[in-house]
């Protein structure tokens, strides 16, 4: 009667030699693997040799919607002007603006930060496009600054005492209009050593505004003395 060969039991070898070898090899590979460096929050290389933002048109020609044109849109779309701030703050159909990730409201002296919903939406989109362009290009982030919003009749009278050129029938009275500075911008991260000039940021802001203007979303006047873009939602 022939003897049958017993199968070899590899299990002791597997546990004693193979598995420890695999574990040790894996540990050595993990230890010697070159980990990627953390991303630089302020990449200086993007500033080297870059082409600055330039607006290809003319500020005065492209943003020349005069007050009478803007006024028609404001009267059609906006609120009935309020005499006092208390009256304005209790009017229905207005939204209070607050500082956001996309724009900053400066300390207002002759206006209050209340607008109709369409103006609030437009302002958010403008700011988002502006900040989003900088972010996409890995550049230091800045926010546009809103310098004037909605005025009451009392605000207009006080403003005209110090500024005779201020219009008594401004579109700012209807909750449809904001002024955005083209001279000042708020830097988001003050620790960022990189900087962009106000002139270049103005070029970028104008490029963004031109898009919304051409889409028929708003009227815009480039104000030189007040250093702002005067914007009325359509």
Q: What is the pLDDT of residues 131-188, one digit of tens each?
A: 999 999 999 999 999 999 999 999 998 887 766 556 678 999 999 999 999 999 999 9
Distance CA 230, CA 177 (A): 7
Q: How many CB atoms lie within 10 A of CB 89?
A: 13
At 50-97, the pLDDT tens digits run 999 999 999 999 999 999 999 999 999 999 999 999 999 899 999 999
Residue 14 scores a pLDDT above 60: no
Please state the domain extents for the chain.
59-233
Give me the CATH code for the 59-233 domain, please.
3.30.1380
Higher pLDDT, 32 or 86: 86
Nearest to 110 by CA among 154, 144, 174: 154
198-214 and 117-136 helices, crossing angle to 10°: 130
Q: How far apart are CA 117 and CA 122, in angstroms?
A: 9
What does DSSP say about strands 142-148 and 104-105: parallel, antiparallel, or unpaired?
parallel
Helices (H), the chain: 11-13, 19-32, 59-62, 67-77, 85-89, 117-136, 153-162, 198-214
């Amino acid at each position: 009667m022939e003897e049958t060969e017993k199968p070899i039991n590899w299990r002791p070898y597997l546990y004693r030699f193979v598995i420890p070898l695999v574990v040790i090899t894996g540990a050595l590979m993990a230890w010697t693997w070159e980990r990627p460096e953390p991303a630089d929050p302020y990449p200086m290389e993007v500033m080297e040799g870059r082409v600055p933002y330039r607006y290809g048109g003319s500020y005065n020609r492209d943003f020349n919607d005069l007050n009478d044109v803007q006024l028609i849109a404001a009267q059609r779309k906006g609120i009935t002007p309020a005499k006092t701030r208390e009256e304005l703050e209790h009017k229905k159909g207005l939204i209070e603006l607050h500082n956001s990730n996309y724009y900053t409201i400066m300390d207002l002296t002759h206006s209050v930060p209340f607008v109709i919903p369409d103006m609030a939406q437009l302002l958010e989109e403008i700011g988002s496009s502006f900040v989003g362009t900088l972010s996409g290009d890995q550049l230091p982030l800045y926010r546009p600054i809103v310098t004037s919003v909605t005025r009451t009749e009392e605000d207009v009278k006080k403003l005209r005492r110090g500024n005779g050129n201020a219009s008594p029938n401004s579109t700012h009275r209807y909750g449809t209009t904001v002024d955005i500075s083209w001279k000042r911008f708020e830097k988001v991260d003050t620790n960022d050593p990189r900087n962009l000039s106000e002139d270049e940021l103005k070029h970028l802001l104008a490029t963004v505004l031109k898009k919304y203007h051409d889409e028929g979303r708003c009227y815009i006047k480039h104000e030189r003395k007040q250093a702002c873009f005067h914007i009325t939602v359509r």
